[in-house]
Every structure is written in structure tokens, then in C-alpha cells.
Amino acid sequence: MALVDRCEQQSLVVRRQGREDRRQIEVHLLEEGMSRVTQIAEAHQPELRYLQENTPLAGWNKSP
């Protein structure tokens, strides 16, 4: 939870009560959080592509 706490302090995410189960807490990316995730993903495309091609996960399509 410390990571979520730090992200929340930097206005990257927000916690919300669960929609279906009010006992749960959902973590949602805010606009700045999405921007940073996009920057990180773009910077690490080779690693992400390698993982996608070499890690068999159900529902994770292989690159063309």
C-alpha cells in the first residue's frame, strides 16, 4: 500500500470505494498518472515486447 500512498500523494491515482462491493477500495489512474504510465511504456517497448512474446498468459495476444 505504500506505493499507492505515494502515488496518491503525487496526484497520480485516486482511491474510490468499490462499485459492487463497498468493502473494497479501487485505485484509479488520474490524468497525470496515465501520462506517466504512457511515458514508461514507451521507454520500455523492447522489454514489454519481449515479455509479451515470451510469456504465455491467457488472453495476451502475441505481437504481429
Q: Is 36 helix (H, G, I), strand (E, B) or coil?
A: helix
Whole-prediction pTM value? 0.65
Question: Which residues make beta-bridge pairs with 15?
Answer: 27
Of the pLDDT bands very low, low, confident and very high (cuts 50, 70, 90), residue 1 is: confident
Of the pLDDT bands very low, low, confident and very high (cuts 50, 70, 90), residue 57 is: confident
The model's pLDDT over 21-44, given as tens digits with 9 standing for 90+, comes to 999 999 999 999 999 999 998 999
Higher pLDDT, 59 or 5: 5
Whole-number pLDDT of residue 4: 96
Cell numbers at 18, concatenated: 468499490
Domains and CATH numbers, the chain: 2-54 (1.10.10.10)
